[in-house]
């Protein structure tokens, strides 16, 4: 990764210590300062992208559906697994928030996010697809199985990114994570799709079976 991006050379604990006061001050804001996020993101050193992500994660309760497009812009810029896998947690937060509202007789927010995530599963950019596949990691019994199945199926053999390492790995991780709480569903999914799944995906998915 050091050959792909410029680094100041700060290790994570040191970086977070230096940013502690700044993040504490910003935590009191009632909305996300997206101008600040993109200002950090556009700086050359990788530590600034990490700072932007730390800021977004502490402010995630203020995320709204319209922010999905901004998350997508971050996803396709300076893309690598380290930032993308942090961004998928933000999409996951929007899914969970929308699902909570859906249980209160208002499914609009959830269906909006879910529909867009399905579109992302067929995006022209593999990193956007990766987020669609892995945005439900750690959801356990709150996993939307229909959404997960759809997003994985759109990236199996025959799709434009079926052989992409970061996609096949994401599929394996999503299934492996779910297998901890719903192994029966994962076993059935593998049995039904084995002929279209990459060996790496099957190997990763089977680690807890």
Per residue in 56-65, pLDDT (tens digit) is 999 999 999 9
Mean pLDDT of the 57-78 span = 98
Question: Given this model, what pLDDT does residue 2 score?
Answer: 56
- Identify which of 82, 84, 85 has the alpha carbon closest to the alpha carbon of residue 12: 82
Q: Which residues contact 43 (CB under 8 A, 6 or more apart)?
A: 49
Which residues in 61-197 belong to E strands, given as ranges? none
What CATH architecture is 81-208?
A: Alpha Horseshoe (1.25)
Residue 105 scores a pLDDT above 90: no
Find out whether 161 and 151 touch, Cβ atoms under 8 Å: no
Per residue in 128-146, pLDDT (tens digit) is 999 999 999 999 999 999 9
- Mean pLDDT of all residues belonging to the chain: 96
Q: What are the backbone angles phi and psi of residue 70, rounded to the nearest 5°?
A: -70, -40
Instruction: Report residue 10 CA to chain centroid gap.
Output: 25
- Identify which of 13, 103, 91 has the alpha carbon closest to the alpha carbon of residue 56: 91
Please return the burial class of 17, using the count of CB atoms within 10 Å of its CB with bins 0-12, 13-18 and 19+: exposed
Question: Given this model, what pLDDT does residue 168 score?
Answer: 98
Per residue in 7-24, pLDDT (tens digit) is 999 999 999 999 999 999
Question: Given this model, what pLDDT does residue 106 score?
Answer: 75
User: What fold, for 1-62?
Assistant: ARM repeat  fold (1.20.1660)
Going from N- to C-terminal start, the domains of the chain cover 1-62, 81-208
Question: Given this model, what pLDDT does residue 82 score?
Answer: 96
Can you read off the two tokens belonging to residue 26? 């910003």
Per the model's pLDDT, the better-predicted residue between 103 and 121 turns out to be 121
Mean pLDDT of the 179-208 span = 98
Asked, colleague to colleague, whether 1-62 and 81-208 share their fold, the answer is: no
Per residue in 158-192, pLDDT (tens digit) is 999 999 999 999 999 999 999 999 999 999 999 99
Per residue in 24-46, pLDDT (tens digit) is 999 999 999 999 999 999 999 99
Predicted structure pTM score: 0.95
In whole angstroms, what is the distance from residue 209 CA to residue 193 CA? Answer: 16
194 vs 124, 153, 191, 203, 204, CA distance in Å? Answer: 24, 11, 6, 11, 13
Question: Given this model, what pLDDT does residue 104 score?
Answer: 64
DSSP one-letter string for 107-146: -HHHHHHHHHHHHHTT-SSHHHHHHHHHTTTT-GGG--HH
């Amino acid at each position: 990764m050091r050959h792909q991006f410029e680094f100041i050379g700060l290790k994570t604990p040191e970086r977070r210590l230096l940013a502690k006061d700044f993040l504490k001050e910003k935590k009191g804001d009632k909305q996300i300062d997206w101008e600040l996020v993109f200002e950090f993101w556009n700086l050359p050193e990788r530590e600034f992208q990490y700072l932007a992500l730390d800021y977004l994660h502490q402010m995630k309760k203020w995320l709204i559906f319209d922010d999905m497009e901004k998350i997508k812009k971050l996803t396709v810029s300076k893309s690598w697994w380290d930032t993308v896998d942090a961004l998928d947690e933000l999409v996951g937060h929007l899914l969970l928030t929308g699902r909570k509202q859906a249980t209160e007789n208002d499914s609009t927010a959830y269906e909006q996010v879910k529909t867009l995530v399905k579109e992302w599963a067929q995006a022209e950019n593999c990193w956007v697809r990766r987020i669609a596949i892995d945005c439900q990691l750690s959801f356990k019994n709150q996993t939307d199985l229909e959404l997960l199945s759809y997003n994985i199926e759109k990236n199996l053999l025959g799709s434009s990114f079926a052989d992409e390492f970061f996609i096949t790995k994401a599929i394996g991780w999503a299934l492996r994570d779910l297998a901890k709480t719903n192994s029966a569903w994962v076993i059935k999914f593998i049995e039904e799709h084995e002929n279209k799944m990459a060996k790496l995906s099957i190997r990763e998915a089977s680690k807890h079976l």
